[in-house]
Amino acid sequence: QIKSNIDSGAFNAIQIAGITALDSSQDCVKKNCEIYQERRDILVRGLNKVGIKVETPRATFYVWCEVPEGYTSAEFASLLLKEAGIVVTPGNGFGDPGEGFIRMALTVDKGRLEEAISRMEKLNF
């Protein structure tokens, strides 16, 4: 409570580092965007292949997709964890509008995404 009344800004060192990063070469930004686009395309293509309806996100490193009919978001997330060893975030954790969806992160390498799709194919949901 005290911090919110006294200081609501980012730590000075973080602000200075941000300025330095923005003033420096941006070559890494393009490279990172390409990496995330490749991961996104692998995951979206794979999810659609296994029958999970998903639209290609345009500006995030998360992929949101509908859970198969007959599951809540929590039930499907639990199934993926228990039966395939895949960790996803159930949409209901983001409030009522998230129910019926799961969120997957593109923060792992493409080999792990391909492995996740392979494991999902074996579930036949």
Domains of the chain: 26-121 (3.90.1150.10)
Whether the Cβ atoms of residue 57 and residue 46 lie closer than 8 Å to each other: no
- Going by pLDDT thresholds of 50, 70 and 90, the confidence category of residue 125 is confident
Q: What is the mean pLDDT of residues 24-52?
A: 95
Query: Which of 12-16, 32-36, 111-115 shows the lowest mean pLDDT across its residues?
Result: 12-16
**Burial track 33-70 (b if 16+ CB lie within 10 A, e otherwise):** eeeeeebbebbbebbeebebebeebeeeeebbbbbeee
pLDDT of residue 3: 57
Interior angle at CA 21, CA 16 and CA 24, nearest 5: 125
Six token digits for residue 107: 């923060």
pLDDT of residue 124: 84
pLDDT of residue 41: 98
